[in-house]
Chains A and B, each alone.
Chain A
Amino acid sequence: MVPLKAYRVMDHTGTVLDSAHEPRLSKEQVVNCYKKMVQLHVIDGILYEAQRQGRISFYMTHYGEEAMIGTAAALEDCDVVYGQYREAFMLLYRGFTMDEMMNQCFSNDLDYGKGRQMPIHYGSKKLNFQTISSPLATQIPQATGAAYALKRSASRACVACFFGEGAASEGDFHAGLNMAATLNCPVIFLCRNNGYAISTPASEQYKGDGIASRGVGYGIDTIRVDGNDIWAVYNATKAARQIAVEENRPVLIEAMTYRIGHHSTSDDSTKYRDRKEVEERAKFDNPVTRLRRYLENKQWWTQEEEDQWRKEVRSSLMKSFSAAEKRKKPAVDALFTDVYDELPQNLRDQKQELQDLMKKYPEYYDTSDYASSL
């Protein structure tokens, strides 16, 4: 079997292979992409450490997959995004602030999710980013449904739906892609194939030619790209968006990349893969370094700017970090609200029951860390 080739625009030295494929982005746009990639890298470093120190309960890094920000650059703000969990690049690109991020990770009273979900389960109504949930691949048929609705409302917007190659083994992947094809939905499926689903290598995940080969079977226009090449990712997404919005057809993009970090803070990946292999991949084929070389080739970026930007991100992140850490948890009331649009009788009763208990045993129900008691 001859595997489908991955589309690539620039090599690992940041050199564009065919200038016809170079996106004509301004210096400002390219620098913006790079700065967001670095910003994500810095955030990941600090939050990963914060979890190690027990200051937040959980974290997942994006190491090695930062070039996926090319998708963000290719989409429009009106496009609805469904993520899996390793897609904070999309939020950063659209203007999610570090305050907003820290508020979610610390589950404080400013968290939009009201402290109900684990860290990194971001969501933003304002930025058209549907709230992340843990069950894998559930977002795939949902993205298809949302795309159908967008088509009906003639909004000329599409849906971008991200997932890993492991999630693509779930039944919902099959359901979502088949429905998108048969119902002509403007949705772009973006698979991050990073070689591992926790400890399971891709070789134990599927026997076919990755995820891309399946798209053809569903009758979906499909492309495999070098996922460490921001311009390959950008071009593919741009073209996919055109197909989705103009022709109401889904597109599948498989971005080949490598998960440099551990799966999550609950995982030690040295238990199932060679540390040296990871270090070599991180060094030889790093999406951040690749874009940096591209910028340097154009003389759009210097070491001083790099140092200055990292310092800037670090210091404002630390400000957000300690502000978020200091804030109180949400009001205890938020335990009961939003299960339904209104509190039904059983929840009113149960809220009363907890309230009575808290009054009876105040020493066991300290609420001083919460914005308000019940």
Chain B
Amino acid sequence: MGLLIVSEYVLMASLAVFSIAAVRIATRKSIGMGLVGISGLSIAIATLLILINRVYGIGFCRDIAYALVLLGPVGTIAFARVLRG
């Protein structure tokens, strides 16, 4: 297999590691830390879905990634707005 395929698999593995780290951060004591963790998790999952779309050819993963990239920040900003009061 070529270097591009190997680098895509390496990126998948690193995104999985980052997802685990983001979930661990989300469980920390403050609410803002949860927002940091979940927003990191959403971008990691969106990029992972684009990679799955390219490597395995699953078409709807791209649409889910688009929804995640658009709606994830909107939800985070809305929650932060509520947290600010």
- The answer to whether A and B come from one shared complex is no
A binding-site residues for B, Cβ under 8 Å = none
